[in-house]
């Protein structure tokens, strides 16, 4: 799918102007009637979401193409700023947020999550030439970048307060943070372990993982729906599709394609 056919962030006003209308009493019936699932994601979050040579691709797209096929509808992919996605979901401007969203107790209170689609444990990446940071605690007294409004930002705040004297710089996208790290304006960038591992795999001459790179509690990425009885059947259909894909090996194949390894994931949403 070429980028010209995508509903881009430049069309944010249109996206927030009623693509899906008001929520029906049964969201699954609604999307089947429409023949499509209108999604929101941020296409600047490799390896999950990215635009390469004008085409949207990534682990998220591969996974959700299969989920939509199982449900029997076409996916419509929108490229929107991360900070607009959950607010837009709440007012029914699209059906689901498929940007990888970290499952947190606070979000579980407010949204319906699908089963996990990937590990999301937070870690740090440094410049390849950096010899001072060999474990997360070494960011004390350093400047660390992170994407704003993310669970990784919150965990970095907590960890920074614990180790002391960490200056946190927020970015709209991880790409911006990586660029500043490469330019020497940051000492490290915090993000989810899969994203950082992919970054180093692609650009090992510029970036490196410390000997110990992760910190904090183990967490997972998932997709997000509105909370309420109307979304229950839709959430159930997605759960069934993920379970089928896990059983027949598609989840494993997609993980290995994009992450280089397979991590077995829970088939239920982790408890608070």
CATH code, domain carrying 24:
3.40.190.10
Domain contains 267:
no
Read off the pLDDT band of 260 (50, 70, 90): confident
Same domain, 145 and 171: yes
* DSSP bridge partners of 220: 119
Domain contains 272:
no
Length of the chain (residues): 272
Same domain, 204 and 241: no
Q: Residue 103 in contact with residue 269, Cβ under 8 Å?
A: yes
Q: What is the reported pLDDT for 216? A: 87
Same domain, 16 and 108: yes
Same domain, 108 and 232: yes
Same domain, 106 and 155: no
Domain contains 268:
no
Tell me the average pLDDT across 160-164: 95
Q: What does the pLDDT look like over 196-232, one tens digit per residue?
A: 989 998 999 999 999 999 998 889 999 999 998 899 9
Of 181, 208, 235, the residue that ends a domain is 208
Domain contains 101:
yes
Q: What does the pLDDT look like over 178-204, one tens digit per residue?
A: 999 999 999 999 999 999 989 998 999
Nearest to 123 by CA among 113, 103, 138, 107: 138
* DSSP bridge partners of 228: none
For the cut 70, the answer to whether the pLDDT of residue 3 exceeds it is no
Same domain, 113 and 126: no
Same domain, 127 and 115: no
Q: How far apart, in whole angstroms, are the C-alpha atoms of residue 46 and residue 80?
A: 15
Tell me the average pLDDT across 45-51: 93
Same domain, 56 and 36: yes
Total count of domains within the chain? 2
Q: What is the reported pLDDT for 213? A: 93
Q: How far apart, in whole angstroms, are the C-alpha atoms of residue 107 and residue 101?
A: 9
Of 165, 183, 208, the residue that ends a domain is 208
Q: What does the pLDDT look like over 70-128, one tens digit per residue?
A: 999 999 999 999 999 999 999 999 999 999 999 999 999 999 999 999 998 999 999 99
Both structure tokens of 214: 């992760």
Same domain, 201 and 232: no
Instruction: Please state, in angstroms and as integers, the Cα–Cα distance from residue 222 to each residue in 101, 118, 268, following that order.
Output: 5, 7, 11
Same domain, 114 and 224: yes
Domain that holds residue 104: 3-119+220-259
Same domain, 114 and 234: yes
Both structure tokens of 199: 């970054």
For the cut 50, the answer to whether the pLDDT of residue 233 exceeds it is yes
Same domain, 115 and 126: no
Q: How far apart, in whole angstroms, are the C-alpha atoms of residue 41 and residue 82?
A: 7
Whole-number average pLDDT of the chain? 90
In this structure, what DSSP letter does residue 271 have?
Answer: P
Q: What is the reported pLDDT for 272? A: 64
Domain contains 240:
yes
Q: Residue 129 in contact with residue 188, Cβ under 8 Å?
A: no
pTM: 0.78
Domain contains 213:
no
In this structure, what DSSP letter does residue 255 have?
Answer: H
Rounded to the nearest angstrom, the gap between the alpha carbon of residue 5 and the centroid of all alpha carbons in its chain is: 22
Domain contains 266:
no
Domain contains 264:
no
């Amino acid at each position: 799918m070429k980028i010209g056919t995508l509903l881009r962030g430049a069309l944010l006003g249109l996206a927030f102007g009623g693509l899906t209308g008001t929520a029906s009493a049964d969201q699954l019936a609604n999307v089947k009637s429409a023949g499509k699932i209108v999604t929101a994601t941020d296409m600047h979050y490799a390896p999950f979401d990215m635009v390469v040579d004008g085409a949207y691709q990534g682990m998220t797209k591969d996974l959700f193409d299969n989920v939509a096929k199982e449900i029997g509808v076409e996916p419509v992919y929108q490229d929107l700023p991360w900070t607009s996605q959950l607010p837009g979901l709440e007012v029914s401007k699209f059906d689901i947020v498929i940007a990888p969203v970290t499952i947190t107790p606070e979000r579980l209170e407010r949204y319906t999550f699908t089963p996990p689609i990937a590990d999301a444990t937070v870690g740090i990446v440094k410049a390849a030439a950096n010899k001072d940071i060999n474990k997360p605690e070494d960011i004390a007294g350093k400047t660390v970048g992170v994407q704003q409004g993310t669970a990784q930002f919150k965990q970095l705040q907590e960890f920074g307060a614990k180790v002391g004297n960490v200056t946190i710089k927020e970015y709209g996208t991880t790409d911006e943070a990586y660029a500043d790290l490469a330019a020497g304006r940051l000492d490290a960038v915090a993000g989810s372990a899969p994203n950082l591992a992919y970054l180093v795999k692609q650009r090992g001459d510029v970036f490196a993982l410390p000997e110990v790179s992760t910190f904090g509690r183990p967490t997972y990425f998932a997709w997000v729906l509105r909370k309420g009885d109307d979304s229950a059947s839709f959430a159930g259909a997605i759960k069934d599709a993920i379970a089928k894909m896990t059983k027949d090996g598609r989840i494993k194949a997609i993980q290995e394609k994009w992450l280089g390894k397979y991590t077995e994931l829970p088939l239920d949403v982790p408890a608070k």
